[in-house]
Every structure is written in C-alpha cells, then in structure tokens.
Chain A
Amino acid sequence: MNNIISDETIEYVGILAKLELSEDEKEQAKKDMGSMLDYIDKLNELDTTGIEPMSHVFSVQNVFREDIVTNGDDRENILKNAPAQKDDMFMVPKTFD
C-alpha cells in the first residue's frame, strides 16, 4: 500500500465528518482509505494539463427565480420531524459556554 493513513489523519477526518469510530473501525478505515487512495492514484497516470475541471456535464447556466414571495408559514410541517423542539424552535445541546 502506498498510501499509509495515520491515526492522526483518521482522527482529523473524523472531526471533519463528525463521525466517532471505535478502535476496530479506525483500523478498518485506515486500511480501506489507504487502498482506495492507492486506487485513485491511478488517475495520476493521465496527463490532465490544460483540461478544464468539469463540475457540470452540460453547459446549462443562468437558472434563476424571480424575487417573489411564494412560500407562506409552513412552520408546522418544518417542525414535524424534529427530534426535540421548544417554543416552535429546534432544540439542540447548548452552543455557548
């Protein structure tokens, strides 16, 4: 394997992705990510100099909405699936120290 994924990297990516992995899962993740990256490194065989990165396959552009209010009060629906709510707001663990 050319890509050796360190404990720090897995820890860091876990912070970015908000995933908490068990020790076993971390070991597995290191292995999986390493072998996937080895495989992805195959792309380096290709010379992509001068090629525009293609984020959209078609040249569709300028899709707009007019600035007109179309939505009314949909609060009941919006809160319907909330795991916890209070006073018509979503309840979350406190965010200030």
Chain B
Amino acid sequence: MENILSYSAVELGAAIKAGNTTAVEAMEAVLESIGKKEKEINAYVTVDKERALEKAAQTQKKIEQGELTGALAGVPAAIKDNMCTEGLLTTCSSKILENFVPTYTAEAVLNLEKAGAVVIGKTNMDEFAMGSTTETSAYGVTRNPRNLQYVPGGSSGGSAAAVAAEECFFALGSDTGGSIRQPAGFCGVVGMKPTYGTVSRYGLIAYGSSLDQIGPLAKNVADCAAVLEAITSHDEKDSTSVKRDDTEFMSALVDDVKGMRVGIPRDYFGEGLDSEVRTAVLAAADSLKEKGAVIEEFDLSLVEYAIPTYYTIAAAEASSNLERFDGIKYGYRTPDAEGLGLHNMYKKTRSEGFGAEVKRRIMLGSFVLSSGYYDAYYLKALKVKAMIKKAFDDAFKKYDLILGPIAPTTAPKLGESLSDPLKMYLGDIYTISVNLAGLPAISVPCGEDAKGLPIGMQLIADSFQEKKLIRAAYAYEQSRKERA
C-alpha cells in the first residue's frame, strides 16, 4: 500500500470503507508523523494519543458494524484550540486558559464526530485568534511546513500547518477576518469560510461574535466540501444559526464553470500587492476563463475602509467577550489572589494571563465603546459595515463570484510582523470585508513565488452560495492538475 498520509480525507474515508485500511492504522500513521515533525513545526498545542487511538478503535468498530458510512468515517482530524472539546485541554493558545478542560464539546466538533471523524488533538493559533501569523500563541510559534523560516499565517496557523505537513487529514479552523483563508494560502492548502450562521458557534470561544465562523482546512476542494457538509447544522443553541436546506455541498464538485460570471475588483490589484502574487492570481482567473467562465474587472469600492471598520468592531466585541476570563470560574488565576482584594486579583490575573496583542485589542475595544466615543467609533463602524455589505450586494447582482488574492504577499518571515501591528493588520485587506458582510469565501492554492512559498487565490460568493464557490474552486483545481 502506498503512503497512507498522502491520501486526501475523502480518499482515506473510501479506503477505510473498502477495508483497505482502518481508522486505527490511519490514526497510528498520523501520530507517527506528528512524532516526527512536531519538534520543527509545532502545529499542535495538545495531542492525546491514547484518547485518539481509543476513539479510532471505537469508530472502526462502528464502521464495521455499518453504523458509520459517511465520507469522513474513520478519518483523523485536527481541531483549532478555540473549540471546546469535552475532557480535552482547550487553551485558545493563551496562558489564561492553560488548565481549562471543557465539560462539553463544540457543536461543530460534535457534528464531525457524528460523521465518524476522529479528533487527534488541538492545533496552535494566535492567542484568542488575534493575529495573522500564529506567533502570538503562548505555546510557541508554529512554523510553515513549506519553509520553516516562515510563518504559517494565522490565526488558524496550526490547523493549516498540520494539513500541509500531513500531521492530519483535515482540520477545523475559525475565521474572523481571514483566519482560515490566509493561513491556508500561506501553507498551500484549501481553506473555506462559510456564510455567517452556517456552522454553529456553540462551543467556539468567541473573539468577534458577529464575524466568527468555523470552517474547514483541507488538502483539496473535495475534502473541504465533505467537511463543510458534515459540520453544517441548524443549532438551536446558537441564536445566529441559520436554517439551510442546500447543504449537500459535495454535490457541487462539478468541473464546469461555463457561463459563470466572475468579477475581479480592480481595488484588489492596486498598490501594495506583490507582483508575483498578482501574476499568479490573474493566471488563475485566465484558467477559469479557458473553462468558459466570463471574467470582468469592476470597482468594488470601499476596500480601504474594511480594515478600520473591522478592527473597531472586532476589538469592541473582543473586549466584552474576553471579560469572562477573570480567574474565578476557570483558567489561570494569579497566585495569592485572596490577599489582593477583588479588583487587583482581576487586574493581575488578566495582565499575567493575556499576551500583548490580546491586551492591545482589549484596550482598543474598551476605548471605542467607552462613554463619549461609542457613536464616533463603534456606531460609525457599524454604519460603514452596512455600506460595505451593500457594495457586495451590488456586485453580486452582476457576478456569481468575486476573484482576488488572499493576501498582498506570501508568508512573511518569522519575527517580522509583530513589531508593527498596523502593518500586520494591513495584510488582512482582502479577507476582512468578507467577514463584515457575512459572505462565504474559499482560499485555493494557485502557485508559488520565487522562494517556493505558496500563493493563494480567493473566491468570494454571495451569502448562502457556497455551492458556486465549491464548483469554481473544484474546476480550477482540476485545471491545475491537468496542467501538472
């Protein structure tokens, strides 16, 4: 048998179903790979081998008994460490949750388990998903498997790296401003952010609640579709969960984009975009054109306002969402708290427990909501958000999809980004507006730069049009295969 680790998730699922391998063999192979590579890559915060093997054995039994028949039955999966997993440490890559063992499992992870996927462990991330490099983790940086001197992107950098390094068959990430799509692009894997409300947020430790969505990172588009199909559900525990009936996403894996109208925003190809990235992304557009898509340039407008809007809203929500980490109910608490008095206990616990980037955003968020500034900053941002949403609504009257880059450059070197936060934030320019407008988008590898670092292309669709995304991404993926 060829190397099992090179299988895609769907291929592995089929092999297990056919009896060519087992869930346990797959898990053993993954654990061995983790054992070899983790020292260099550090994609995981927590791997519980015993638990993973035990669950794999249980799953194998169910597959043999015919109880589990889905595409992902028996496939080992990695989970970003901001999703609660019962009995398994969940840290958000923060010291403040260094010892937090949830007593319940996030709905999206439960759905995966119902589909037969087996959790390997929890992947590294930027602390509380705040960052674009996975360097703000309290548990060390994750390195890009394609070149260890470079960051994997973030915040779901551990998930992207684990997929790229064959330390799992697919992973779940979360995307608040590009946190699935950008690391997928930097690591050369496929990542997808679904329409807001498609995947339940219950059990996802919130960063920016109105922007957060869970989604897959995988080796190819088919795996992405399979995982999205498994995790999508209408959850009564999440008030923002949307009831959908068009969720057999695998049915959209069709190599046909004839007549599809694809818009390319001129605003995405202006100043600041690396020329190698530009060339690769435009070449990808050409490939779609060759397959019969109608490509057209247009002005999306308001692109430069997305980042300030995003950082105002996300920081404000984060400042409130992270208030619950106070050393009382769970997580880290400063030593000798009793003698400090209540407010000093709060301050010491939080100041010692949170890292610099998290504190920066909490401070900003608390400020923009504070008395006298709410209207000028927060309310203003909500109004611009409405304008940005409208700009997309107008675009989707003309186009089925919007095509552009994921990030202005390929992955930066380790240690280069954090010194200038504002510059780091500017790297999110192409991904952020998608979250503000609640839209689905996918990141697909479309080439490499001269350093051999992956370049990602982004496709954006109107709300609830994931099938269009999957179809176009799949067709493009096929054209790359044909070329290779």
Contact = CB atoms under 8 A, between A and B. Distances in A.
Interface string B186-219: 0000000000110000000000001000000000
B327 A58 contact: no
A86 B308 CA distance: 46
A71 B364 CA distance: 37
A20 B333 contact: no
A29 B196 CA distance: 32
A53 interface: yes
A44 B380 contact: yes
A93 B338 contact: yes
Contacts, number: 167
A20 B370 contact: no
B320 to A, nearest CB: 10
A52 B387 CA distance: 9
Interface in B196-249: 196-197, 210, 236, 239-240, 242
B333 A52 contact: no
Interface residues on B, range: 35 or more
A48 B351 contact: no
Interface in B124-180: none
Nearest to A52: B386
Q: What does DSSP make chain B's interface, helix, strand, loop or mixed?
A: helix
A58 B331 contact: no
Interface of A: 9-10, 12-14, 16-21, 25, 29, 32-33, 35-37, 39-46, 48, 51-58, 60, 63, 65, 74, 77-78, 80-84, 90-95
21 contacts: A14-B347, A17-B319, A20-B347, A33-B364, A40-B368, A43-B312, A46-B384, A48-B383, A48-B387, A51-B383, A54-B385, A57-B436, A57-B438, A58-B438, A63-B239, A74-B103, A82-B330, A83-B337, A84-B338, A92-B342, A93-B345
Given A60-B240, A93-B341, 19 more contacts: A12-B370, A13-B363, A16-B366, A19-B354, A21-B351, A33-B367, A36-B421, A39-B308, A43-B305, A46-B387, A48-B387, A52-B386, A53-B385, A53-B386, A80-B101, A83-B337, A90-B328, A93-B337, A95-B342
Interface of B: 99-101, 103-104, 196-197, 210, 236, 239-240, 242, 302, 304-305, 307-309, 311-312, 319, 323, 326-333, 337-348, 350-351, 354, 356, 359-360, 362-368, 370, 377, 379-387, 389, 421-422, 436-438, 463
